[in-house]
Amino acid sequence: MKIDKIQALRGPNIWSVQRKKLIQMRLDLEEMEQFPTNKIDGFRERIEAMFPTMIEHRCSEGTRGGFFSRIERGTWMGHVIEHIALEIQTLAGMETGFGRTRETKTPGIYNVVFSYTEENVGMFAAESAVNIARALIDGTDYDLEGDIQKMREIRERVRLGPSTGSIVEEAVARDIPWIRLGTNSLVQLGYGINQMRFQATITCKTSSIAVDIACNKEQTKKMLDANSIPVANGGIVVDEDDLDEVIRKIGFPIVLKPLDGNHGKGASINVKTREDAVEGLAYAKKYSHRVIVEKFITGYDFRVLVIDNKLVAAAKREPAHVKGDGKQTIQQLIDETNTDPRRGYGHENVLTQIDVDRDTTDLLEKLNYTLETVPKKDEVVYLKSTANLSTGGTSIDVTDMMHPENIFLCERISRVIGLDVCGVDIMAENLTQPLKENGGCILEVNAAPGFRMHLAPSEGLPRNVAAPVIDMLYPPGKPSRIPIIAVTGTNGKTTTTRLMAHIVKNNGYKVGFTTSDGIYVQNHMMEKGDTTGPISAEYILKDPTVEFAVLETARGGILRSGLGFSRCDIAIITNIQEDHLGLSDIHTLDDLARVKSTVVKSVKKDGWAILNAEDDQCLRIANELSCNVAYFAMDENNPKVKQFSKEGKIVAVCENGFITIKKGEWKMRVERATHVPLTMGGKAKFMIANVLAATLAAYLQGFKTEDISLSLQTFIPSAAQTPGRMNIFEFKRFKVLIDFAHNASGYRGVEEFLTSVEATKKIGIIAGVGDRRDEDIKECASIAARMFDHIIIRQEKHLRGRTEEEIIGLIMEGIAESGRNVTHEIIKKEVEAIKHAIDNAEDGSFITALSDVVTNAIEIVQEYLDKESEE
């Protein structure tokens, strides 16, 4: 077996619109295609021994143990690998359960698809599952635990932290979309102009001044003290002289901690001698030049969380510790404590495993203990100086026990410092009494407090502290999304997208759109190139100025990564014609329709799918949709159009020369087709179809018909507005047309337009695309032979695995098969071919360059036109 390719799907995709996070592995079984599981001796026993928990895999049987039954009867190794990949993720603490395995058109090659929670872990699981399957086939040993631990480590390295993750989960529960910005904890909630950002628990509403104050422990202490809030006595030191001065004032015991530290790093507590104090100073200075020294206050460590100036949770924290039984050593007690199922690696469980580090050994040394010491029965031995959960500490929820005076105090602190998300550290005997009565004080104020101790305390009631963060960022009535219109299809996508964006802009929105020639925000090109994939869509949705997105969505991006958005308001399929067949396991029109349908299947329930009523594939897709469906068609008398009208459906048609919207039998005429410049005076029929689709989408979006009409009249096709889409350049003696037509359907559209063009001679410049099927290249050449009097064949780009000679040979065959006696010549370079055609153009001739690199062609023709105007 060998892996041909592994890819991660991150959005709605051809396998599932709901399950966005999938790994797709293209697997060649090679000789194992001949060996289903029932032909491999002992395979059932070995896999059951390695994965006894797979008894829960019901598979298609629908019963417990169903997967093992399938193995017994015989199933192929791709299916087995799918289940292994799912199970090892579960064993590593990442529960996930969706999988599909399908054979491709190539015998022995399968697409193995399974869900993941962390992309990097999913990619690793794909490779690991294949390796495990090989070991099971061969009957050799395999270090399964090693792979599982590796997956845990990968997860901890790349996952969102518990605080960030809880906010994201709450956002998802409220149907707020999110995008991770980079690989850290910076997250965008919402799209476009409605986005909000946060990192860990610092939000875009957090005051930078407040963060600076909170990070400066000395400044914080002064401000709290000035506002009659109890704080520990102490001072700032940089050397031993300063240390001695502070100790003289406050006496022992003391606490030393870095002025700029966090998470308890570099802290020493309950220091009782000068020798230990000097050592603690050196330790703290590893993290900060200046060190804060305070009187050690006895009591318990409490963390109070205040969000949007309202108290939401309080927890009593206790450092990692063990309790002696009079028999076991400290190390043995640690090992026993770590067997608690609530403890896990990193942040995977409620509690974290206790690790032995310098802090641990220092605390033990102060007790004259080592890891081999046997504590007395019920003796509590503290292993960390701070109560952070990330170092093995525990937390007990005490929110409901707080005295109103202490609630008032903590909420006041958040306003004094100015933090929207504020963690207040308190040392006191309890929080049931006011601090001024029990002698408690404020230790620190945290600008990015962790949520884990409140989300999953080891004792007490869990608190959904992420909810008030979302309440603050998205109060009732504030939207998180922006309108999204997605456009897909074989031909006409870019023109429809650009026209749609023009209509949206004219209706007062700041629009961002993606096309096959670039990413645009308010008609400013931000990135040049074919930008019709998910990364480009995400670019628009991340732009904080965009109020409305129109996204051209091509098949390539869907197959590579899925869609770049979770759902859209309106989706258009212009048409589904033969193109790109034979690539990426897409061999038939049905296959292609399945890809394109992903876009309309992502439409929200009350949104609209706009389909071509004259396209059989579109009509079939309509039956699979759960959203509203509207149609467009060139022929008002099409039987399907008549049927839809009788059913009361909304249909856009071209009737009596008008762009018209029909609601049942009622008609709303929007504009004459001849008044829409894009239609070339009504001659470019395929452009009318694009206009119908965009008009219908605009109407369903809620735009007024008079505003749509004005936009249709003001959208002028040109090399700047619609590059490569029916761009006509008028010279004094002849005309030149540049179009992006690159498949048979596109060629037929140009052919239909040329029937209305009067010319002494029609000259065509054509090329083939190497990754198309032989029959597709030949068909385009045959159409070219029908519509041109003379053909110039050029072929220098997009060979894609073929030779120039091979493609030119197919074009020649296609011309011959047309039956027309058309003259032709070969000029391989496009630049030279266009120059040759212009230099030798006869009076009244019409040159058509069907170019796959429209920018180059437009520049050459424009140069000639500029020279002519200067003469």
Amino acid at 524: H
Asked if residue 166 lies in contact with residue 451, where contact means CB atoms within 8 angstroms, the answer is yes
Asked if residue 495 lies in contact with residue 725, where contact means CB atoms within 8 angstroms, the answer is yes
Residue 47 burial (10 A CB sphere; 0-12, 13-18, 19+): buried
Asked if residue 685 lies in contact with residue 749, where contact means CB atoms within 8 angstroms, the answer is yes
pLDDT in tens, 285-302: 998 889 989 888 888 999
Q: Which one, of 572, 870, 513, lies nearest residue 694 by Cα?
A: 572
Q: Which one, of 163, 471, 470, 161, lies nearest residue 303 by Cα?
A: 163
Task: Give the model's pLDDT for residue 626.
Answer: 95
The pTM for the full model equals 0.84
Q: Which one, of 843, 812, 841, 807, lies nearest residue 825 by Cα?
A: 812
pLDDT in tens, 382-431: 998 878 788 888 899 999 999 999 999 999 999 999 999 999 999 999 99
Average predicted confidence (pLDDT) for the chain: 92
Q: Are strands 628-633 and 650-655 parallel, antiparallel or unpaired?
A: parallel
Asked if residue 820 lies in contact with residue 701, where contact means CB atoms within 8 angstroms, the answer is no
Average of per-residue pLDDT across 24-37:
96
pLDDT in tens, 802-856: 888 888 899 999 999 988 889 999 998 888 999 999 999 999 999 999 876 666 7
In angstroms, rounded to a whole number, what is the distance separating the alpha carbons of residues 688 and 681? 10
Q: Are strands 762-766 and 790-793 parallel, antiparallel or unpaired?
A: parallel
pLDDT in tens, 316-370: 999 999 999 999 999 999 999 999 888 877 766 677 889 999 889 988 998 899 9
Residue 703 burial (10 A CB sphere; 0-12, 13-18, 19+): middle
pLDDT in tens, 110-168: 999 999 999 999 999 999 999 999 999 999 999 999 999 999 999 989 999 889 999 99
Q: Give the confidence band of 261 by pLDDT, cuts at 50, 70, 90.
A: low
Asked if residue 756 lies in contact with residue 683, where contact means CB atoms within 8 angstroms, the answer is yes
CA atoms within 13 A on the CB side of 365: 9
**Number of alpha helices (DSSP H) and beta strands (DSSP E) in the chain:** 29, 38
> Which residue matches tokens 């240390």?
243
Cα–chain-centroid distance for residue 415? 36
Collect all residues with Cβ–Cβ distance below 8 Å to 61 and sequence separation of at least 6: 67, 69, 70
DSSP 376: P
In angstroms, rounded to a whole number, what is the distance separating the alpha carbons of residues 624 and 627? 9
> Which residue matches tokens 């239609």?
679
In angstroms, rounded to a whole number, what is the distance separating the alpha carbons of residues 513 and 539? 10
Average of per-residue pLDDT across 224-238:
92
Query: How large a percentage of the chain has pLDDT more than 90?
Result: 75
Amino acid at 251: G
Tokens of 793: 């064949």
**Minimum mean pLDDT range among 646-650, 703-707, 719-723:** 719-723
